[in-house]
């Protein structure tokens, strides 16, 4: 067995879960590693009560739950993380060193989101377990468009990639050897719910 290959294997995350049936179906798929719950302002936002129910379902299927935050303060993030039993947090703003250390002490992995426009502009210092690159757009995530992935060709650190990823381009995303591929709007129906058939098609393409 090639253990090095296993270590480098790209993980899959489906973000924007807000429905009980979606949580049951998607967390039951062997190939999905993470499910994301959004607590920032979004059409996919969930409240704390719903998040607790979703998290219980997801954990029952032995998958990890990631909370997505933007401008929410550390106190709010920690409260949600504890009550909804989050495994990690994905933050769409600069993370201070002291906040990162507190999140780590609370046994949470931390992903720093970097929004990418025409150029890749990296902050001088990043305090996170992984950098997640997403497309700069009208919203903080979930814009449904991709940035120029060639901007990442020389990036040597562990990273995730998000933004407009679907069946049509997931193999291209995988070719970048990211630690994580984060999928959201491209596997939704017109009502903003995840479509199991689209996710299964995505997985088939991902595994080619």
122-180 pLDDT per residue, tens: 888 999 999 999 987 655 555 677 989 999 988 889 999 999 999 999 999 999 999 99
pLDDT surpassing 90 at residue 88: yes
CA torsion sign for 79, 138, 133, 172 is positive
Question: Do 38 and 65 touch, CB atoms closer than 8 A?
Answer: no
Least confident stretch, 42-46, 103-107, 189-193: 189-193
Name residues whose C-beta falls within 8 Å of residue 91's C-beta, 6 or more positions apart in sequence.
69, 70, 77, 110, 111, 112, 113, 128
Cα separation of 111 and 29, whole Å? 23
pLDDT confidence of residue 141 = 55
**The pTM is what?**
0.91
pLDDT confidence of residue 2 = 44
Could you tell me the domains of the chain?
10-206 (3.20.20.70)
Q: Burial level of 207, CB count in 10 A (0-12/13-18/19+)?
A: exposed
Mean pLDDT across the stretch 108-115?
Answer: 96
Average pLDDT for the chain: 92
Tell me: the pLDDT tens digits for 3-43?
Answer: 444 444 899 999 999 999 999 999 999 999 999 999 999 99
């Amino acid at each position: 067995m090639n253990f090095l290959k296993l270590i480098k294997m790209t993980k899959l995350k489906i973000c924007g879960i807000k429905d009980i049936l979606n949580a049951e179906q998607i967390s039951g798929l062997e190939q999905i590693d993470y499910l994301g719950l959004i607590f920032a302002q979004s059409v996919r936002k969930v409240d704390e009560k719903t998040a607790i129910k979703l998290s219980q379902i997801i954990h029952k299927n032995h998958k990890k739950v990631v909370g997505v935050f933007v401008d929410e303060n550390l106190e709010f993030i920690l409260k949600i993380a504890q009550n909804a039993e989050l495994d990690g947090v994905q933050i769409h703003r600069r993370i201070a060193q002291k906040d990162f250390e507190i999140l780590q002490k609370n046994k949470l992995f931390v992903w720093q989101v970097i929004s990418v426009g025409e150029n890749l502009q990296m902050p001088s210092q990043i305090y996170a377990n992984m950098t997640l690159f997403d497309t700069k757009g009208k919203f903080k995530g979930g814009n449904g468009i991709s940035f120029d992935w060639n901007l990442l060709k020389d990036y040597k650190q562990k990273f995730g990639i998000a933004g407009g990823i679907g069946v049509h381009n997931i193999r291209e995303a995988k070719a970048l050897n990211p630690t994580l591929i984060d999928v959201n709007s491209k596997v939704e129906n017109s009502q903003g719910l995840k479509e199991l058939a689209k996710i299964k098609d995505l997985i088939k393409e991902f595994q080619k």
